[in-house]
Structures are given as structure tokens and as C-alpha cells.
Amino acid sequence: MSVIYHKVALIGLGLIASSMALGMRKHGLASRIVGHARSAETRATALELGLVEQVFDTAAEAVKDADLVVFCVPIGVMADLAAEVAPHLKPGATISDVGSVKKAVVDAISPHVPLGVHFIPAHPLAGTEHSGPRSGFAGLFKNRWCLLTPLPDTEPEALTRLKAFWTALGANVDEMDPEHHDLVLAVTSHAPHLIAYTMVGVADDLKRVTEGEVINYSAAGFRDFTRIAASDPTMWRDVFLNNKEATLEILGRFTEELFDLQRAIRRGNGQQLFDYFTRTRAIRRGIIEAGQDTDAPDFGRTSKD
């Protein structure tokens, strides 16, 4: 691969930024990668791991001369960050982000973007339940989607370049408008996360069932919830605060439907349950066919013996 951006500045050096840095190095997508993180410890770790060649104490210094600036920080701090770096952005630079909500990010960043700088919001649908600069790996984006939500006046050339960048990191790139993105993600990510957090919280509260039992016997379904519910608390707080309406709408539909199934259980309506469970099976099949998960019967366990 060849260099796509001469100098890239990563603001925030957690799971996503460290995976981007490793991916860029592996595929030679940038001549220089620099970074900034609020925590001195994170900055030191990023240097020690060789994720970036230089770290700066402030975001303003880090973005200087950068051709691509990526905000890899919780959504709640993006507006202040944009205001801080705006005067220091190079004309012709592209500013982007990796936030899980897009309408709020557009609202937070747009007002600060100087003329001649390209702002293209992005959301790589990739992650693990781990966070911090040590949790990244170059393959994180491989065969995952990266959704771009360009604004109406986005320059085509800048957009093409950012698409090429994410494609080179291994992602499949798609475009949609910010509001639609937020609704789709409320269904596929935000509501499921809140539900998983809630179920894990309930288990924790339940005093008659000791923690030891919940943990020991987690393999039968609950385990997957705990993985989802172990994601970064700051990031997820900001997701819910910034995609309030769509998340609450989906959660409303969810509880409506859950109550209906609860009533079927209470009344012993086995046919309704059976039909419902049969229908949901088909969706799983579609996900496997779309290559977003594997069909391996032991899903990821290392040994079959």
C-alpha cells in the first residue's frame, strides 16, 4: 500500500486509536503518526508501544500540520476539543472521528470547522470489551463496516481519500446520513448494550443467587451479556446521552414486545413462543451469510477435544 495521508494526528489513544495506528503502520498508510491523550500515562504507553512517533501534551500541538486528524475520544468532549484545535488545523486537512453517534458529533464539531478544512464524520463498527492503548490490534477493522456520514457540502476528493484510508485498514465502507445512522445503530448496538448492562446489573443485585453462582454458571447465555456490558463506561454514557431519542424509541418497542412474550409465558401460550423463536432464528442465518460472524459450533473455543 502507499501513503494516503502524510501526517496523521490521533486525538485520544485508546482501543480504536491504537488499532488504527497499528493498522496504518502495518499497511504504510501514513508517513508520520502523532498523538495526544489527556492522561500522561496513556501518552507514555503509546510512545513505549511505538503506536505514535510523538505525543503532545495538548491536542492543539498534535494537530499542527496534520493532513488527517481523528478524534478518538468520548462524544461528550468533542465540542470542546473541536473549539481547541480549530485555529491550529492546516488548510486542506481532513478532520474526522470514530464516535458511535453521528448527529450529535456533527452538531458538536461542525460549528468549529474552519473554511478550507474537510470535516467527515466516521464510525468504524468494531471494538472489543477492552479499552486503553494496550488493547489495540491491527486486524480490528478487518471485514468490519466503517460508516461515513458526509455532510452535503463535503468535497468529493476528501471523501474518496478517507474512504481509501478505511478500506486500506480492512474495513468495508458505506455512507448514510447521520440521523439514519443513529437509528440503525440504536437497533444494532445502543439498545442491545443498555439491555446487556441492565441484565448484568440485575444479576448483580440478586442476593438470593450468590455472585459465585452467577459467575460459575454464566456459560448458558449470560456470558455474552457480560462481555457486552464490560465495554468502556465513559464512551457508553456519552452514546446514550447523545442518541437519546432513537435509543429510547427502540427500548420502548423492546419493552412492549417483551411484555407480550411475558404474557405468553404467564398464560402458557406455547405456540406464540415457538413461532416467535422460529422467526428470530432466520436473522442469525442472515448474519452468518453476510460474513459478520462465524458458524463454528464451538464459537471461538480453542479446542474441540
Interactions with its own copies, residue window 256-285 (CB under 8 A): 257-259, 261-262, 265-266, 268, 270, 273-274, 276-281, 283-285
Return the DSSP state at 148. Answer: E
How many residues make up the chain in this entry? 305
Least distance (Å) between residue 35 CB and its own copies: 20
Alpha helix positions (H), 74-210: 78-85, 103-109, 156-168, 178-185, 191-205
Of 133-152, binders to its own copies (CB under 8 A) are 135, 137-140, 142, 144-145, 147
191 neighbors 254 (Cβ within 8 angstroms): yes
Torsion of CA 135, 60, 24, 163, to 10 degrees: 110
Choices 79-87, 112-120, 153-161, 191-199 (CB under 8 A): range interacting with its own copies = 191-199
Of 230-249, binders to its own copies (CB under 8 A) are 230-231, 233-234, 236-238, 240-241, 244, 247-248
Of 41-80, binders to its own copies (CB under 8 A) are 76
Size of residue set near its own copies by CB under 8 A? 115
What is the rounded CA–CA span in Å between residue 303 and residue 285?
Answer: 24
Q: At 190, which amino acid appears? A: H
Least distance (Å) between residue 291 CB and its own copies: 9
Q: Is 175 in the site for its own copies (CB under 8 A)?
A: no
SS3 for 298? coil
Nearer to its own copies, 54 or 226 (CB): 226
Least distance (Å) between residue 96 CB and its own copies: 18
110 neighbors 84 (Cβ within 8 angstroms): no
23 neighbors 30 (Cβ within 8 angstroms): no
Least distance (Å) between residue 78 CB and its own copies: 15
- Cα-only R_g, the chain: 21
Of 202-231, binders to its own copies (CB under 8 A) are 202-206, 208-209, 211, 213-231
